[in-house]
Chains A and B, each alone.
Chain A
Amino acid sequence: MSFISYLITGISLGSVYAIIALGYTMVYGIAKMLNFAHGDVIMVGGYVVFVAVSNMGVNPYVALLISMATCTILGVTIERVAYKPLRGTSPLAVLITAIGVSYLLQNLALLIFGADTKAFTSVVNVPNLELFDGQLTISGVTIVTVIACIIIMAVLTLFVKKTKAGRAMQAVSEDRGAAQLMGINVNGTIALTFAIGSALAAVAGVLLCSAYPSLTPYTGSMPGIKAFVAAVFGGIGSIPGAMIGGILLGIIENLSKAYISSQLSDAIVFGVLIIVLLVRPTGILGKNIQEKV
């Protein structure tokens, strides 16, 4: 029973990683950059809900919507101010800038909210599920997280595959120049990608803080990095890859915490990444780049 319990918690944690990984993978696929500030947008999303619910007494679900709106604006602003001027320069310049933005967000949060840990009241008020005469308890947060992840994946996949804006995203991802010549607004498409990724980061932030109810300015950094690992693990640029990578990572992390060592669990997670990259450099669902000779 305890194994199943660990497994389910792992899937739940992995679902959060998957939602965050979506932001990484979409931005990478379409804007061809790694947005290392993505993890800190999660933290901002958490703080917005914290302030709204604990300080202002807003309804938790309304707070979630406010948080999504705030993060969307934040994500688009970051893109416009920090990344867009660097488009067309070396990818390294954008990468360094993203790391800079990440520190900026962390330190702004430090300045505004202080370094002390805030106790986050769970937004989710779904009752726990008791199975097998109480031998297996699945928390409400876990259920909501997994369901949210599945819904987000389905909606996003349909959005990218079946709508105009989604087709524009695919086109920009494949050939930015050709897309532009066909009348696609590349800047608008990239901004939309950041908007979606950041709104999802807010959702992930709230779910994460509901499951692990403590909030500091560094809350987003480790899940952010792990979600990046998940995106690479699943094949960066691929939406189902982010889902598979995220959930596998969550399971691996939780099982190693339970059966091997809770101190070593992070090392094992990153070790798995190294092995995957050695065997399949493009990740599980990543495309093999064939070079014609």
Chain B
Amino acid sequence: MALLEVKNLGISFGGLRAVNAFDIQIEKGQLYGLIGPNGAGKTTVFNLLTGVYKPDEGSVVLDGVNITGKKTIDINKAGIARTFQNIRLFKDMTVLDNVKVGLHNNHTYGVVTGIFRLPKYFKVEKEMDEKAMELLKVFELDQYADVLAANLPYGKQRELEIARALATEPKLLLLDEPAAGMNPNETKDLMNTIRFVRDKFDMTILLIEHDMKLVSGICEKLTVLNFGEVLVQGDTSDVLNDPQVITAYLGE
């Protein structure tokens, strides 16, 4: 059974049908791309998957658990984490603290323990620090641990967002236009990072991207969205050579 199974997902905003009859199946460990022209509804699909919007119909099943219409926080606990098209780090917090926010639910102690700094506070905080540093090292961000997130270079901010998402220990990682605003060199690094994340964490990744070099370089499967509906779905090379896809992107 696939890790993520989405069937007949749909949502309307007023009279606008933003996403219609959206199906997708992602196997564990797959690197899957969601592409399509601007306004096709890609980010809306992400928002539906993460519970930011409640679907009007359809179902989302993650690893055998039906998470359709659940709250964002519960979906995150069920195992979906994401990054954002426009980076949404906690900019006034340090790099380390950003990752520690991601670790929030997997390391617990009570408020009273925190106020009075009981022994458990030090133990758990130390665990969190170690875990967070481990994650930062993977992205070579450990040297920036005490820097405010806002002061990181752009490419590093993107990586920190991925690290923060991974800290929530997801089964499925959603990346919303990870290469947006990057130059070709940064994009190349990013491709390596994404591949590395998949291999190192045995992660399943669904990403939205406009950069065709990135998409054809790392995605194994693609779904093309156009006007809120699935246009073509399949192996990357087949999809990219499909005349319908070329038409949707370039016009007649």
Residues of A within 8 A of B (CB): 155, 159, 162-168, 170-171, 174-175, 177-186, 192
Min distance, Cβ B101 to any Cβ of chain A, angstroms: 5
Q: Which of B84, B104, B105 has the most CB of A within 10 A?
A: B104
Tell me the complex Cα distance, A170–B90, Å. Answer: 8
Main secondary structure of the interface of A (DSSP, over half): helix
Question: Chain A residues near B92 (CB, 8 Å)?
Answer: 170, 174
Q: Are B115 and A155 in contact (CB under 8 A)?
A: yes
Q: Are A177 and B88 in contact (CB under 8 A)?
A: yes
B81 beta carbon closer than 8 Å to chain A = yes
Question: Chain B residues near A177 (CB, 8 Å)?
Answer: 52, 88
Question: Chain A residues near B167 (CB, 8 Å)?
Answer: 182
Tell me the complex Cα distance, A127–B119, Å. Answer: 36
Contact (A182, B101) CB under 8 Å given A170-B90, A177-B88: yes
Question: Chain A residues near B76 (CB, 8 Å)?
Answer: 180-183
Tell me the complex Cα distance, A178–B104, Å. Answer: 13
Min distance, Cβ B95 to any Cβ of chain A, angstroms: 13
Min distance, Cβ B178 to any Cβ of chain A, angstroms: 16
Q: Are A167 and B93 in contact (CB under 8 A)?
A: yes
Q: Are B101 and A171 in contact (CB under 8 A)?
A: yes
Cross-chain contact of A181 among B81, B91, B107, B115 (Cβ < 8 A): B81
Q: How many residues of B contact A (CB 8 A)?
A: 35
Give 16 new A-B contacts, CB below 8 A, not counting A181-B50, A181-B72: A163-B114, A163-B121, A164-B107, A165-B114, A166-B114, A167-B93, A167-B104, A170-B90, A170-B93, A178-B89, A181-B81, A181-B82, A182-B104, A182-B168, A183-B73, A183-B76
Tell me the complex Cα distance, A42–B22, Å. Answer: 54
Q: Are A183 and B84 in contact (CB under 8 A)?
A: no
Tell me the complex Cα distance, A66–B121, Å. Answer: 26
Tell me the complex Cα distance, A181–B53, Å. Answer: 12
B70 beta carbon closer than 8 Å to chain A = no
Contact (A165, B111) CB under 8 Å given A181-B76, A181-B81: yes
Q: Which of A166, A167, A186 has the most CB of B within 10 A?
A: A167
Q: Which of A179, A182, A184 has the most CB of B within 10 A?
A: A182
Q: Which of A168, A171, A175, A186 has the most CB of B within 10 A?
A: A171
Q: Are B100 and A167 in contact (CB under 8 A)?
A: yes
Question: Chain B residues near A174 (CB, 8 Å)?
Answer: 90-93
Question: Chain B residues near A167 (CB, 8 Å)?
Answer: 93, 97, 100-101, 104
B29 beta carbon closer than 8 Å to chain A = no
B162 beta carbon closer than 8 Å to chain A = no
Q: Are A171 and B93 in contact (CB under 8 A)?
A: yes
